[in-house]
Amino acid sequence: MLKDFEYLSIRYKDEKLEILDQRRLPDIEEWMESKTPEDMITYIKQLSVRGAPLIGVAASVALFVYVRDHPDADRKTIVEVSDQLRNARPTAVNLMNNIDTMIQLSQPDQDKRDYSAEKMAELAYSIVEAEVEMCRRMSEFGAELVQQGEGILTHCNTGGVATPGMGTALGVIRAAHRAGKQIHVYVDETRPLLQGGRLTTYELEREQIPYTLICDNMAATLMAAGKIQRVLVGADRIARNGDFANKIGTYSVAVLAKYHNIPFHGVAPWSTVDPACPSGKHIPIEQRAPQEVQGASGAFGSVRWAPKDSQTFNPAFDVTPNSLITSLILDTGVYDCQSFEKYVEQIKGNLS
């Protein structure tokens, strides 16, 4: 029914959906089975599954698994389950777009929507294949911008752990490295959850790409010293005007890059674009638990360094305004924000 597939962070084999527990990396590679929608929702919320493209893919396959295992489920129940998956995280629009594809919102006649296991398997696999191909194309587009010997700063994790396939910003880095451009990557640790320190370094080590891990507050010093020639980051939702939400701290990096005249690029597939969202002011920002700021946890265990009742501010994302963006690298090409907005309007016009 659903074809087997396997990528760095997600696989479907022998009718089992499994995800790599990102909380345990880099020291422990542990796969967890997702048998129910509730399993996948828990994995997404606890960040065992993270990265906007991967979240969308994982939820889509989880919805197929539910339909496969509940052949008598009626349309209403399937839609209710899809809504639960859709709401697992509020910012990553890939999740919403892919679930909408699974429940076939583009089909105006509800009675003709096909929620059979065979149809859901077809849709889920097409989503996986599309995300892999989009990663490949944006990686190639972005690698053409990278010059020989550049120092590249990246924030959070945007590779094969966060997507099926090459990755987004880290996919560009991979493609540039494979092209022999002798780049060096500077990796923000990315507080509070250390996705750069734990995950991006894990991926760079696997491919033997030269890198240096830094604390988030060291980027300005490196820029001033001329060590960084380009910034590549991912995105969880891109508004119609080119503003985009990404892991908290991205906005700070964009401000620093602007001051030091360093090109700053957001890299994402078309599934991350939200044409219905006019600007970054309209992007919902997820607020997370105070414990993530009060200490740290991972394969090494947990530690708390602040009083347990200390007041915290812990948004998962911030918004980078289009005025700070050199270009957006999509699977359809490279756009400054003015041309991006025109492109989105053109696509909307073609769909209407």
Query: Would you say 152 and 184 are in contact if contact means Cβ atoms under 8 Å apart?
Result: yes
Number of domains, the chain: 2
The residues pairing with 301 across neighbouring beta strands, listed in sequence order, are 298
Q: Any idea which residues carry the catalytic annotation?
A: 236
Alpha carbon distance 324, 317 (integer Å): 17
Residues 80 and 160 in one domain: no
- CA 71 remoteness from chain centre: 32
The predicted structure's pLDDT at residue 298: 76
Per-residue pLDDT of the chain (352 residues; tens, 9 = 90+): 899 999 999 999 999 999 999 999 998 999 999 999 999 999 999 999 998 899 999 999 999 999 999 999 999 999 999 999 999 988 878 899 999 999 997 777 777 789 999 999 999 999 999 999 999 999 999 999 999 999 999 999 999 999 999 999 999 999 999 999 999 999 999 999 999 999 999 999 999 999 999 999 999 999 999 999 999 999 999 999 999 999 999 999 999 999 999 999 999 999 899 999 999 999 999 999 999 999 988 777 789 999 999 999 999 999 999 999 999 999 999 999 899 999 998 886 665 5
Residue 351 pLDDT: 53
Question: Domain check: are 175 and 288 in the same one?
Answer: yes
Answer yes or no: do 26 and 109 share one domain. Answer: yes
Among the candidates 117, 135, 153, a domain finishes at 135
Same domain, 143 and 107: no
208 and 70 share one domain: no
Look-up of token digits 């967890």: 32
The rounded distance, in Å, linking the Cα atoms of 184 and 30 is 29
Instruction: List phi, psi (to 5°) of 181.
Output: -85, 0
Q: Does residue 146 share a domain with residue 106?
A: no
Residue 113 has φ and ψ, to the nearest 5°, of: -70, 130
The amino acid at 62: A
In the structure encoding, which two tokens stand for residue 295, read together? 């200490």
Q: Which of 120, 135, 150 is where one domain is finished?
A: 135
User: Within this chain, do residues 327 and 229 fall inside the same structural domain, yes or no?
Assistant: yes
Within this chain, do residues 94 and 192 fall inside the same structural domain, yes or no? no
Same-domain pairing of 216 and 347: yes
DSSP state of 108: S
d(CA 137, CA 166) in angstroms, rounded, equals 9
Tell me how far CA of residue 221 lies from CA of 86, 105, 170, 260, 315, in angstroms: 41, 49, 22, 11, 25
Residues with Cβ within 8 Å of residue 351, at least 6 apart in sequence? none
Listed residue (59, 282, 284, 244) closest to 158, CA to CA: 244
Q: What is the pLDDT of residue 349?
A: 66
State residue 314's pLDDT score.
95
- Give the helix/strand (H/E) hosting 265: strand 264-267
Structural domain harbouring 126: 5-135
pLDDT at 266: 98
Q: Which tokens sit at 138? A: 């944006």
Claim to verify: residue 128 and residue 232 sit in the same structural domain: no
For 278, the 3-state DSSP assignment is coil
pTM for this prediction = 0.91
Residue ending a domain, among 88, 117, 135, is 135
Q: Quick one: DSSP state of residue 90?
A: S
Please indicate, yes or no, whether residues 144 and 130 belong to a single structural domain of this protein.
Answer: no
Give dist(CA 81, CA 70) in Å, integer. 12
- Is residue 131 domain-shared with residue 145, that is, in the same domain? no
CATH number of residue 181's parent domain = 3.40.50.10470
Closest to 101 in 3D by CA, of 130, 68, 141 = 130
